[in-house]
Amino acid sequence: MALIVQKFGGTSVGSVERICQVAEKVKDFRARGDDLVVVVSAMSGETNRLIDLAKAIQAEPDPREMDVIVSTGEQVTIALLAMALKERGVDAVSYTGSQVRILTDSAHTKARIQHIDDARMRADLSAGRVVIVAGFQGVDEQGNITTLGRGGSDTTGVALAAALKADECQIYTDVDGVYTTDPRVVENARRLDKITFEEMLEMASLGSKVLQIRAVEFAGKYNVPLRVLHSFKEGPGTLITLEDGAAMEQPVISGIAFNRDEAKLTIRGVPDTPGVAFKILGPVSAANIEVDMIVQNVSHDNTTDFTFTVHRNDVRKTQDILNQVAAQIGAREVGGDSKIVKVSIVGVGMRSHAGVASKMFQALSDEGINIQMISTSEIKISVVIDEKYLELAVRSLHSAFELDGDATEDRL
């Protein structure tokens, strides 16, 4: 008998009919003898509706009160699912985050989990009940309701699995696993049977939307086996787990991720003096703008060009900051380009294989795709290219690293 934590997202519980389908799935698992803790999100669209209500009252809603209102979405879902299970003869009980006592810090709308009291859940599991917990929410030491930020139900599921030392945390979504790349871009992309925490974390941070980054970080830290499954289709899904030594003998690359939300900014004619990078990026950081890739050209005539990428939504704000910085440090001009994308290859096999970068660059060169920026880590290589070449680049790299075909089904 296994202890399994299952998490169902908003689309999976988006209607009464779908909640009943989830109840049938949970009933089937319970019939096998598994102990189950089920984490659910609010019904799809409900959180946005609640946010709109708050903003209709207060343009910048009070964070504490915002947490109070948005947390009610999950409260509806847990009660409905408990009713659906009881209707099917399955003993179940629902709890909000505060009732389970998912203790968080007091950072309203973006709280972090500090401790989980598992006593109540273990007592219910011992009594043969299915425990249903509201995702996305907790309570601080003062008893205030807190929320974990959008997508926080994934983190709730993983955190509960860690606290309960569950055998597996299953994340049910509208896809049947993690693919070598987006199947909408590459038709013959393949589902991976397994992928490591490191690879999944890179894929998530580089543009893959399958799992929330914080959930993957939490799972890796506490070694919680994660499995991504389709809510309403049968299949093994993709298991996310620790690196297997045998994986080093497998193909080098696990997947290709891409991000369409990048923009590039360049400040030209920068005086090449110590501390100039901080003078440029310090004000950008102070404005809470995240910088991704950074390139500084070789100095000519004691000046250099400094280029970095930010989210497209931050371009105008960043340009305004750079124009002020340029005037202060005596730089020549500021330029920007929002028509770029970032394409990345990811794989733990890179650690033991040479020539990965050259193979990537050769594949792009063969298609006449110019690389504007390059960033590397131990298990990933990212390049910035013109956005019009995105799909061509992903397809060519998918083929160059032999991710097409049935071999990817047993990648690790």
Q: Are 139 and 122 in contact (CB under 8 A)?
A: no
273 is in an annotated binding site: no
Comparing CA positions, the residue from 349, 343, 344, 329 lying closest to residue 278 is 329
Helix H or strand E segment including 266 = strand 262-271
406 is in an annotated binding site: no
252 is in an annotated binding site: no
User: Alpha-carbon distance 368 to 364, whole Å?
Assistant: 6
Two tokens, residue 150: 């959008």
Position of tokens 């008893």? 143
User: What are the start-end ranges of the H helices in 101-244?
Assistant: 119-126, 152-164, 197-205, 213-222
118 is in an annotated binding site: no
244 is in an annotated binding site: no
User: Alpha-carbon distance 276 to 301, whole Å?
Assistant: 16
174 is in an annotated binding site: yes
Comparing CA positions, the residue from 387, 298, 280, 284 lying closest to residue 341 is 387
209 is in an annotated binding site: yes
User: Alpha-carbon distance 167 to 125, whole Å?
Assistant: 14
DSSP classification of residue 120:
H
Two tokens, residue 30: 């319970």
At a CB cut-off of 8 Å and minimum separation 6, what does 96 contact? 71, 74, 75, 78, 133, 134, 137
155 is in an annotated binding site: no
Comparing CA positions, the residue from 220, 206, 247 lying closest to residue 346 is 206
184 is in an annotated binding site: yes
Helix H or strand E segment including 264 = strand 262-271
179 is in an annotated binding site: yes
404 is in an annotated binding site: no
52 is in an annotated binding site: no
Specify binding-site residues for substrate.
47, 74
Specify binding-site residues for ATP.
7-10, 173-174, 179, 184, 209-210
Specify binding-site residues.
7-10, 47, 74, 173-174, 179, 184, 209-210
